[in-house]
Chain A
Amino acid sequence: MSDQSLSLLKRFIQDDFLSKQELKALKRGLEDPKNSQVIDVWMHDYWNIAHEVESNTSFSDIIAQVNQAYQTRSQEIFWDRKWVKQLQKIAAILILPLVLVSGYLVLSRVDSNLQYAEAIVPNGQKSEIVLPDNTHIWLNSGTRLKYPVKFGSGKREVFLDGEAYFEVAHNANAPFIVNAKNVAVKVLGTTFNVKAYYDESQVETALLSGKIKLLIENRDEIDVHPGELVNISGSQKSVSKSGFNSEEIVGWRNNRLVFRDDTFSNLVKKIERWYDVEIVYDEKLYDHKRLTVELQEGESIDRLMQIIEKTMNINYHINKQKIYIKPKMKS
Chain B
Amino acid sequence: MKRLYLSKAITKTYSLKKLELHSEIELVTRLINQDHFAFEVLFYKYKNKVKGFVLKFAPSQIDADDIVQKVFIKVWLQKEKLSIDKSFSAFLYTIAKNEIIDQLKSSVNRRIYFMGNNLIADLNIREQSDNTDEQLGLEKKITELIHQLPERRKEIFELSRFGGLTYRQIAEKLEISENTVDTQIRKALKFLREKLKIVRNNILLIIF
- Chain A residues proximal to chain B, CB less than 8 Å: 9, 12-15, 17-21, 23-24, 26-27, 30-31, 39-40, 43-44, 46-47, 50-63, 65-66, 69, 110, 113-114, 116, 118, 120, 144-146, 155, 159, 161, 177, 179, 181-184, 186, 198, 215-218, 221
The stretch among B100-108, B163-171, B179-187, B199-207 that forms the contact with chain A is: B100-108
Is A62's CB under 8 angstroms from B76's CB?
Answer: yes
Is B43's CB under 8 angstroms from A15's CB?
Answer: no
Interchain CA distance A144-B9 in the complex, whole Å = 5
A-facing residues in B27-72 (Cβ within 8 Å): 35-37, 40, 43-44, 47-53, 55-60, 64-65, 68-69, 72
Known contacts A59-B7, A221-B18, then 9 further A-B pairs from the complex at CB < 8 Å, ordered by chain A residue: A13-B57, A40-B97, A47-B89, A52-B52, A58-B6, A177-B21, A179-B13, A217-B14, A217-B16
Interchain CA distance A146-B77 in the complex, whole Å = 25
Residues of chain B at interface, number, CB under 8 A: 68
CB distance from B153 to the nearest CB of A (A): 17
28 CB < 8 A contacts A-B:
A13-B58, A15-B59, A15-B60, A21-B132, A23-B112, A30-B105, A31-B105, A40-B97, A43-B57, A44-B93, A46-B53, A47-B89, A52-B52, A54-B51, A56-B65, A58-B4, A65-B73, A66-B77, A69-B73, A113-B37, A144-B6, A144-B8, A159-B9, A161-B12, A179-B13, A186-B19, A198-B8, A217-B16
Chain A residues contacting B1 (CB-CB under 8 Å) are 120
Chain A residues contacting B83 (CB-CB under 8 Å) are none
CB distance from B33 to the nearest CB of A (A): 11
Chain B residues contacting A47 (CB-CB under 8 Å) are 53, 89, 93, 96-97
Chain A residues contacting B76 (CB-CB under 8 Å) are 62, 66
Chain B residues contacting A66 (CB-CB under 8 Å) are 73, 76-77
Is B16's CB under 8 angstroms from A215's CB?
Answer: yes
Which residue in A18, A52, A55, A116 is a CB contact (below 8 Å) of B111? A18
Interface of chain B, helix or strand or loop or mixed? Answer: helix
Chain B residues contacting A146 (CB-CB under 8 Å) are 6, 9-10
CB distance from B48 to the nearest CB of A (A): 4
B85 CB–A CB distance under 8 Å: no
Chain B residues contacting A44 (CB-CB under 8 Å) are 93, 97
Which residue in B21, B47, B58, B109 is a CB contact (below 8 Å) of A27? B109
Chain B residues contacting A12 (CB-CB under 8 Å) are 59, 104, 107-108
CB distance from A147 to the nearest CB of B (A): 10
Which residue in A53, A110, A116, A183 is a CB contact (below 8 Å) of B55? A53
Is B21's CB under 8 angstroms from A19's CB?
Answer: no
Chain B residues contacting A62 (CB-CB under 8 Å) are 43, 69, 72-73, 76
B122 CB–A CB distance under 8 Å: no
B124 CB–A CB distance under 8 Å: no
4 shortest A-B CB distances, which residue pairs? Answer: A144-B9, A52-B48, A55-B51, A159-B10
Chain B residues contacting A14 (CB-CB under 8 Å) are 59
Is A65's CB under 8 angstroms from B10's CB?
Answer: no
Chain B residues contacting A221 (CB-CB under 8 Å) are 18-19
Is B108's CB under 8 angstroms from A55's CB?
Answer: no
A-facing residues in B125-152 (Cβ within 8 Å): 132, 135-136, 139-140, 143
